[in-house]
Amino acid sequence: MAELQEVQITEEKPLLPGQTPEVAKEAELAARILLDQGQTHSVETPYGSITFTVYGTPKPKRPAILTYHDVGLNDKSCFQPLFQFADMQEIIQNFVRVHVDAPGMEEGAPVFPLGYQYPSLDQLADMIPCILQYLNFSTIIGVGVGAGAYVLSRYALTHPDTVEGLVLINIDPNAKGWMDWAAHKLTGLTSSIPEMILGHLFSQEELSGNSELIQKYRNIITHAPNLENIELYWNSYNNRRDLNFERGSDITLKCPVMLVVECNSKLDPTQTSFLKMADSGGQPQLTQPGKLTEAFKYFLQGMGYMASSCMTRLSRSRTASLTSAASLDGNRSRSRTLSQSSESGPLPSGPPGHTMEVSC
């Protein structure tokens, strides 16, 4: 009987000497992720379930890299070429990666029933805390494209303490104005949903070039078994509200941001110079993974996450020139915007809080 009692009170996973329950829980979660080399999970949220795929081994005190894809894509079709790019490996081995699928976009997702209320982009952002809680991550570095960049920005505005950095690729922070709506309606009369989404994902030049990549993505979207779901995400994107970023106001991103923009005409050239990448169109993570990887490396280095020994010789010399570029920049009205010029010019690195703009 005494033996039986002993069995009853024995912990399923006994604490090691000196181990607190908190440390034990962390170890258990770490072990769970350790096994997660490309493991897909789903969690319930107030807005329905959300699916994500986790890669990598947790490193103490490191944020997870969390990605959010654009409309018409999923975590794999949006990010696989970037995260499988050879030079990316030295970066990502230092982080757990959490690749989120917007609801109904995961592979094999069933079509939502008619009348299903798809979450707004704000609600998609509100689902992210459930993912982080499940994985026990307190902070992230977000990487988002298009609609996904909007979702991560919204999340960063509402949960600033949990976002250490953001890579925003071709974000449009503004709601559709009535002119946009009119144009959208007119285009809708002549175009199918897949063509409208392709027009959102790629530049006109890319579409008329009809490269293999365009053919591949046109084929993926046109024949998607979950096309109805994609249309719901598309509608939520088109119904987004303004992010209302205001420099110097409360409604601004507090973390370092790497802004990757397709067109630099909207940015004030007196405040910003640019890294000129060869024209990479709407999805540079697909068409220019090398350049994006290099810029990402500088970005992480600026946040103190990549030792310069991990950088290429070229990167190191560019970063060295940055030190002077950053100090020259100090008297600008804009807070610590680090700039970069053409391929031969300096590239940014610097303390957290900076915004880095990369023009593709």
- Shortest spacing between CB 79 and ligand BEZ, in angstroms: 6
CB of 89 to ligand BEZ, least distance (A): 8
Nearer to ligand BEZ among residue 289 and residue 348 (C-beta): 289
The secondary structure element, H or E, covering residue 52 is strand 48-55
Which C-beta is closer to ligand BEZ: that of 84 or that of 308?
Answer: 84
Identity of the residue, 92 or 259, whose beta carbon is nearer to ligand BEZ in the bound complex:
92
User: What is the DSSP track for 301-359?
Assistant: HHTT-S-GGGS-HHHHHHHHHHHHHHHHHTTSSSTTEE---STTS-----STT-EEEEE
- What backbone phi and psi angles, to 5 degrees, belong to 310? -85, -5
Nearer to ligand BEZ, 297 or 318 (CB): 297
- Terminal alpha carbon distance of the chain: 73
Q: Within its chain, how far is the Cα of 22 from the centroid?
A: 30
Query: What does the binding site for ligand BEZ look like in residue numbers (CB under 6 A)?
Result: 55, 79-80, 83-84, 92, 97, 99
In terms of CB distance, is 40 or 174 closer to ligand BEZ? 40
Nearer to ligand BEZ, 96 or 232 (CB): 96
CB of 88 to ligand BEZ, least distance (A): 8
Strands 39-45 and 48-55: antiparallel
DSSP for 142-188 reads EEEETHHHHHHHHHHHH-GGGEEEEEEES---SPP-HHHHHHHHHHH
Distances from the Cα of 135 to the Cα of 63, 221, 287, angstroms: 11, 31, 31
- Rounded Cα–Cα distance for residues 261 and 177 (Å): 20
Q: Give me the least distance between CB of 83 and ligand BEZ, in Å please.
A: 4
Closest approach of Cβ 97 to ligand BEZ, in Å?
Answer: 4
- In the complex, minimum distance from the CB of residue 95 to ligand BEZ, in angstroms, rounded to a whole number: 9
- Burial environment of residue 227 by CB neighbours within 10 A (0 to 12, 13 to 18, 19 or more): middle
Closest distance of CB 40 from ligand BEZ, Å: 11
Judged by beta carbon, residue 99 or residue 200, the one nearer ligand BEZ is 99
User: What is the number of residues in the chain?
Assistant: 360
